[in-house]
Structure 1
Amino acid sequence: MNVILVDDEPAMLLAMRMLLSRLDGVKLVSCFQTAAEALAFIDDVEVDMAFLDIELNGDSGLELARRLRAKDANLDIVFTTSHTEFSMQAYDVYPLDYMVKPISRQRLAQTIARADSKRLASVSRGIVAEIERLSVRGIGGLDVVSKKVGEVKWISRKSKEVFAYLLIHRGRPIHKARIIEDIFGHLSIANAESYLSTAAYQLRKVLAEHGFKEVIHCSQEKYRLDLEQIDADFIRWEQELGQLKVIDATNAAAAVELEKAFSGGLFEDTAFEWVIAEQERLSNVYVSFAALLAGWLSDSGQYREALRIAVRLVARNEFDEEANLLLIRLLAAVGDQKALLEHEGRYRQLLYEELGLQPSPRIEQAYAQARCGS
């Protein structure tokens, strides 16, 4: 694993060099004291992980992380800092870890092990992906691409909608009457049947250009998609999640990557009314999983990673009392009193302005304990 260090303190660079030299499988390829040096270096050398000080002399480690990620989306970022007040902002760039100085050899070894687990999982997924399949990104939007041609350019909005509709039914045959009711219900039966036939024809035509003419099947007035020819991220995400019977030290790194992968709603920003129920179901699956993972990470002392997840849970539903309780406890655990006070102010204001309510006794008790450091 090729590693770089960026820190404006020579003493810190020396200490990190010594720590990393004692870890197997780690190659420190260079050290820098400025962001410009690191950015120029990564253009010419393959780097797997970057340890960045958040407060660089004249530079921002957070901005450097964003620019490094723009050059290499797979680069693992680890923030090192003497302060905790940047922790909330740091989560915007999805770092692998956030470590407060001084850094111990054991703490560093845990971070390296997490990166190794993540890369092994990525290699495994890559082997599976070598089979030629139509790739669908449904989490956070709806994009379909093939290796042969690239992005699918839909002939009509309805052909795209029919594809998406069949996709969420995961290969099950769907009778045309149900498709008509959900997608073409505003039309007469005759017109709806004609529009469905046209959309299905357009769908076959555009997918044939990508080498997937046979991906849509019609038999006995039922339509279905052949999922053997499709790699849909939301379907794969739920399948991989189902393999995590419990969360423990052996699969925690993979669980964290799964949590990060759920980066938005199903078919987000589309106007498909029929997808709302499935969006809510998948969102509830994510919330339950993320809360369970955050709890495990917290119990294991990985407060920073747990805090990142708690921030996401609250952002999804600011009124979720359980998510807010988790966030309060984790802010207390990392000793970030400033962020705790900011959260309390926002939460009280939100409840009062939106619902005319005060925080529940459970929330009040959690705030009181957090302020006392208990």
Structure 2
Amino acid sequence: MKVLIVDDEPAMLLAMKRMLSSMQDVEIVGSFQNAAEALDFVKNREVDLAFLDIQIATDNGLELARSLISVCNDLDIVFTTSHAEYAIHAYDVYPLDYMVKPISRMRLAQTLTRAASRRRSSSNLADDIAPNRLTVYGLSCFEASSKQAGAVKWKSKKSMELFAYLLVHQGRSVAKSRILEDLFPGRPLKQAEVYLNTIVYQLRKVLSEHGFKEMILSAQEQYRVDLDQADVDFIRFEQTMLELFEFNITNEKAAIALEKQFLGELFEGKSFDWATGERERLLTLYVSYAKRLASWLLERNQYNEAASIARRIVSRNEFEEESTLLLLSILGAMGDRKSLHNHYEQYTQLLLHELGLQPSLSIQQQYEQYQ
């Protein structure tokens, strides 16, 4: 992936270059401290992903983003800033991500994985499916776009929420009464019904602009979404995960690639109360899948890949003992005593500081086995 960095702070520019240069499949093609040089560069060079500071000295990062996209319309933009109060939904450039400084290596890696996944999906859609489909990302975010009209610009937050709600039901019909209860709790019935009619109209209108006039279907006081016209990452992820239940040499690469597609929790950053159960269910499925995959790779002595997966599992729940045991086993088997010791110490200090506890006997024995 060809990456461009624009930041007027020399220290931040250097830090980003160092982190990015150590990451797999990343080529830093340019780094600049002002907007004009960056724009001139993109006019003559191929760039896949640009990290832009929102405030670049006297320049405006948002204006630069618009100019870059006008030159290279398939360029992904990631905003970086020291100001957490900026709201991503306010920008009409629809960036891939928004990162608040200081930026950790793990956070940066998640963004790169997401960018790579999006580009693979776009490529697959161009080659394998109909010319115009709605592409939906729900893992770590909630975004939708089409080849015909680009990113979906929701008419209201509630129309966006209704679409997410219907997608979670994966094409199954949902009773109007249940939608009212889940999306408008506490509202008077008549008022909620009027509101629902309004957002259904808004949703159908915005989808029509993308060529999907009949995507939201209703009959007999029920609503559903027609998934024949959509490619939804979390639905595809779950379906593929079930298909890869048994690992073997033939599907090994596909299994590893699938684990990396879980970029974050369902609708991360969206306060959808009704999504809590589905979010936890999907996360539980992912963790179970990732543990099985890491264990299988450990048995095949593929330690580095197994350790990477185990670290990602642990990062989602640092207190979970089974994941910690798995990571300690992998680090011990690969002979990385330094990492083994460091992780054991971090886990011990975390338990003591947060819960006032010592590691379990199983954890202690696993650690001591490789010392």
1:68 and 2:17 are equivalent in the alignment: no
Measure how far apart 1:123 and its partner are: 7.6
* Residues in 2 aligned to 1:91 and 1:193: alpha-carbon distance in whole angstroms: 41
The 1:90–1:345 alpha-carbon spacing in structure 2 relative to 1, beyond 3 Å, is: same
Question: After superposition, where does 1:180-199 map in structure 2 within 5 Å?
Answer: 180-199=180-199
Residue identity over aligned pairs, in percent, reads: 47
Change (3 A) 1:146 1:63: closer
What residue in structure 2 maps to residue 134 of structure 1? 134
Q: Give structure 2 stretches of 5+ with no counterpart.
A: 5-16, 30-46, 50-104, 111-119
Query: How much does 1:65 deviate?
Result: 4.3
> Is 1:135–1:145's contact at 8 Å kept on the other side of the alignment?
yes
Segment of structure 1 superposing worse, 62-71 or 247-256: 62-71
**Does 334-343 or 120-129 show the bigger shift?**
120-129
Which residue matches 1:237?
237
Can you list the C-alpha shifts for 1:92-119, whole angstroms capped at 9, x where unaligned?
748xxxxxxxxxxxxxxxxxxxxxxxxx
Q: Mapping of 1:294-309 within 5 angstroms?
A: 294-309=294-309
What is residue 102 of structure 1 aligned with on the other side?
none
Residues 205, 213 of structure 2: 8 Å contact kept: yes
Q: Is the 8 Å Cα contact of residues 134 and 144 (structure 2) preserved in structure 1?
A: yes
Matched residues in 1 for 2:291 and 2:249: separation? Answer: 17
Asked whether the equivalents of residues 20 and 28 of structure 2 are also in contact (C-alpha less than 8 Å), the reply is no
Structure 1 residues 223, 313: closer, same or farther in 2, change over 3 A? same
The one-letter amino acid of 1:362's match is S
Structure 1: unaligned runs, 5 residues or longer = 1-37, 41-59, 74-88, 95-119
Q: Could you tell me how far apart the structure 1 residues matched to 2:19 and 2:286 are?
A: 27
Q: Secondary structure at the match of 2:370?
A: helix
Change (3 A) 1:169 1:331: same
Offset of residue 357 of structure 1: 1.2
Aligned to 2:210: 210
Partner of 1:176: 176
Distance 1:133 1:351 in 2: 48
Conserved 8 A contact 2:132-2:148: no
Call closer, same or farther: CA 1:284–1:218 in 2, change over 3 Å. same
Change (3 A) 1:254 1:125: farther
Provide the residue aligned with 2:320 in structure 1: 320
Q: Which residue of 2 aligns with 1:279?
A: 279
C-alpha distance 69-263 of structure 1, shift in aligned 2 (>3 A): farther
CA contact (8 A) 1:121 1:254 kept: no
Q: Could you tell me which residue of structure 2 aligns to residue 359 of structure 1? A: 359
The Cα of 1:268 is off from its aligned counterpart by 0.6
Q: Is the 8 A contact 1:62 1:90 kept in 2?
A: no
Task: Tell me the residue number matched to 1:340.
Answer: 340
- Cα distance in 2 for residues equivalent to 1:302 and 1:229: 39
What is the Cα-based RMSD across aligned positions, in Å? 2.9
Give the direction of change, closer, same or farther, for the CA distance of 1:319–1:68 in structure 2 (3 Å limit): same
Equivalent in the alignment of 2:251: 251
Tell me how far apart the structure 2 counterparts of residues 316 and 301 of structure 1 sit (CA, whole Å): 24
The 1:353/1:62 distance shift into structure 2, 3 A limit, reads closer
Matched, 1:310 2:305: no
Where do 1:8-157 residues align within 5 Å? 62-66=19-23, 68=27, 71-72=47-48, 93=109, 127-157=127-157
Q: Matched residues in 1 for 2:48 and 2:230: separation? A: 27
Quick one: distance in 2 between partners of 1:228 and 1:268? 25
Higher relative contact order (CA 8 A, sep 6+): 1
User: Which amino acid is the alignment partner of residue 140 of structure 1?
Assistant: S
Q: Which moved more, 1:124-133 or 1:302-311?
A: 124-133
Q: Distance in 2 between matches of 1:61 and 1:161?
A: 39
8 Å contact 1:136–1:231 — kept in the other structure?
A: yes
Partner of 2:220: 220
1:105-151 Cα offsets, whole Å, 9 max, x none, are: xxxxxxxxxxxxxxx99987764334521110001110010111111
Cα distance, 1:338 vs. partner?
Answer: 1.9
Is the 8 Å Cα contact of residues 139 and 234 (structure 1) preserved in structure 2?
yes
The ranges of structure 1 where at least 4 consecutive aligned residues each deviate by more than 4 angstroms after the TM superposition are: 69-73, 89-94, 120-126
Kept in 1, the 8 Å contact 2:3–2:48? The answer is no
Q: Deviation at 1:241?
A: 1.2
1:68 maps to a residue whose letter is E
Aligned partners of 1:155, 1:280: CA distance in 2, in Å?
A: 29
**1:331 paired to 2:288:** no
Conservation of the 8 A alpha-carbon contact between 2:145 and 2:152: yes
How far did residue 330 of structure 1 move? 1.2
**Aligned residues between the structures:** 279
Give the number of the structure whose alpha-carbon radius of gyration is greater.
1
Q: Which amino acid aligns with 1:136?
A: V
Kept in 1: contact 2:139–2:265 (CA 8 A): yes
TM (norm. structure 1) is 0.69
Q: How far apart, in 1, do the equivalents of 2:136 and 2:220 lie?
A: 27
Q: In structure 2, how many angstroms separate the alpha carbons of the residues matched to 1:297 and 1:339?
A: 19
